[in-house]
Amino acid sequence: MSVAASAHRRDEYLQAARIAIDPDRVQVELDLTAGMSVADAIIRDIDRDGSGSIAGGEARAYAAAAVKAMRLEIDSVPLQMELLNVTVPDLDDIRNGEGAIRVGLSAKLPALAAGPHQISFINAHRTDIGVYLANAMMPASPRIEVMAQQRDVAQREITVDFVLAANSSTGARVLLPLGVLVVLSLAAAGWMRERS
């Protein structure tokens, strides 16, 4: 039995969100794992034509409907989430409480000033049977430093406080030409001394 299956009860729909913050975008990865007693209801929601298998269009339609019950904000300004991908495991794995539906989302950030910011994520998908987890991932960019995470008791809502450092490459673009000029000036001065 998988860790996800053993971590929640048979009558719950475990929804684990991982939030990755980059200077220009936020990515959300969701694992949706149905307990055994609610698995058939989730499968019916996805398998709209009742064929007993999940087509790519059905999986995307289910994920898109789930995303409509979620909200992502930067500094209290809503962000538009784009559905990147969705994978649905074998239906027997879902029925056994072992298969996680995986959903990848992305949202472009507006140009942010260096300094403190706040990302908020709210998940209201299937609150009738849902149990929730939410965490910020370790930032890949050295410009992002996560300072704090606050969650509500149900972990349907998470707020991530982070600091965006100034873009050091901007300074490098300015300083590099100046450095080249200084080196050339010194070389020219040395050459002139040698000649005289």
* pLDDT on residue 190: 57
Per cent of the chain over pLDDT 90 is 75
pLDDT tens column, 152-184: 999 999 999 999 999 875 444 444 454 544 455
Whole-structure pTM over 0.85, yes or no? no
pLDDT along the chain (196 residues), means of 10: 53 97 98 96 93 92 97 98 96 93 98 97 97 97 97 97 84 48 52 56
CB 143 within 8 A of CB 163: no
For residue 113, give the amino acid letter: A
Cα 4 to Cα 33: distance, rounded to the nearest angstrom: 7
**Residue 28 exposed, middle or buried by CB count within 10 Å (0-12, 13-18, 19+):** buried
Domain ranges across the chain: 3-165, 166-196
* pLDDT on residue 10: 87
